[in-house]
Every structure is written in C-alpha cells, then in structure tokens.
Amino acid sequence: MKITIKSYGGTFSWENEGDDTDLAELIPQIKGLLVSAGYHPKSVDECFSPDAFEWFPEEAEFTLDPETQSFGERNARGETFPT
C-alpha cells in the first residue's frame, strides 16, 4: 500500500510492503502525513476524533430516562431528545 499527498509543491508519502495493513496501523500514518504536509497536529487530531465525521449520524438508540420514566432518543453524539 502506498499513500501520497502532493501539496504546495511538496510530496509526502508512506509505503508499506504488501497490502495487509490494518486500520489501526494506517490511521497514525495518515495523520503523520497530514502533519508533514503542513496541517497543524491539533487540527488533525480534531478531525480524527471519534465523532468528527460520523458515517451514520442519523442512527439513534432509544433509552429510558430514569428520572421521567419516559423513553428518549439518543443520537450518535450521545444527545438525548424526547420522543
């Protein structure tokens, strides 16, 4: 696998022999490339936080509120809304 970022005249690459890179190994490499290409490390971390870019933000679970004994809808960010 090879990942290359070309930005502002620079080329930043990471390469691994074979194609068996798992996601846990890949994400830190991508983050490192972004920092090498000039992005601020804090900005990169914020973009890779667990809820920064949710694939399915509309998915919700229903929970029972112990205080009101009513069901509420909890979205992927943990916010609860009455139903």
φ, ψ at 63 (rounded to 5°) = -130, 150
Mean predicted lDDT score pLDDT of the chain: 78
Q: Residue 81's pLDDT band (boundaries 50, 70, 90)? A: low
Q: What is the pLDDT of residue 58?
A: 66
Region 43-61 average pLDDT: 73
Q: Residue 8's pLDDT band (boundaries 50, 70, 90)? A: confident
Q: What is the pLDDT of residue 76?
A: 52
What token pair was written down for 69?
A: 């004994």
- With tokens 């399915």, the residue in question is 56
Residues 6+ apart with CB under 8 A from 16: 1, 2, 25, 29
The structure's pTM equals: 0.61
